[in-house]
Amino acid sequence: MKFFSRFFFILTTTIILLVFTTCSRTSGPPDSEILRDLGFRPIPEGSEFPDISFTDTGNQTHSLGEFKGSVILLNFWASWCPPCRAEMPSMGHLAEELKNSDFVMIPVNVQEPLELVESFVTEFEIGFPVYLDINADAARAIGVSGLPTSILIDRDGSAVAVVTGAIEWDDDELISMMRGWTR
């Protein structure tokens, strides 16, 4: 009898561990071909990415490292930039589609005063947090050369891909790729 109790305990524990590890597995970044097809330029593996800082609209400083463990869309934008303005609603849709995953969107406004950013947020009815890079220190640290620039960053904090220019963030293929990555 003792043997069967111990056997069932070990079997139950093993099954629970298998279920837990299977459910908690996270998928890695999409392959380079998929990223290229969606308009991104893949970044070689192992590329060091700086832990940049930026502020929220309440003037609290944040660093990219705070978001480690999540898949990050880091987007640099400005209110005067027509492509930035064009892509902002689709970014909101992407954020909504991925709200129950380990996805974080960090749109960082470059060199504009808080009042202008707040006006933009109100005008476009943006329902997600935006951040500020008042002196463009973060943008300079990673070499942003045009706006908008968006960088996909994996859970370990490594840059995976970049795109300069507007992108349709609510494209079905892009959302599907991001869902697969951010489960």
What was the pLDDT predicted at 26? 56
Q: Is residue 143 part of a domain?
A: yes
Domain that includes residue 119, residue range? 29-181
pTM over cut 0.75: yes
Q: Is residue 24 part of a domain?
A: no
Name the one residue in this structure whose structure tokens are 């599907």.
176
Q: Is residue 8 part of a domain?
A: no
Q: Is residue 119 part of a domain?
A: yes
Q: Is residue 141 part of a domain?
A: yes
Give the CATH number of the domain where residue 132 resides.
3.40.30.10
> What total of structural domains would you count in the chain?
1
Q: What is the largest CA-CA distance in the chain?
A: 76
Tell me the helix, strand and coil percentages in the chain, rounded to 5.
40, 20, 40
pLDDT tens track, the chain, 183 positions: 565 455 444 434 444 433 443 344 457 899 999 999 999 999 988 777 899 999 999 999 999 999 999 999 999 999 999 999 999 999 999 999 999 999 999 999 999 999 999 999 999 999 999 999 999 999 999 999 999 999 999 999 999 999 999 999 999 999 999 999 998
The DSSP annotation for 124-183 comes to TT--S--EEETTSHHHHHHT--SSSEEEEE-TTS-EEEEEES---TT-HHHHHHHHHH--
Assess contact for 133 and 144: CB atoms under 8 A.
no
Q: Is residue 3 part of a domain?
A: no
Q: Is residue 13 part of a domain?
A: no
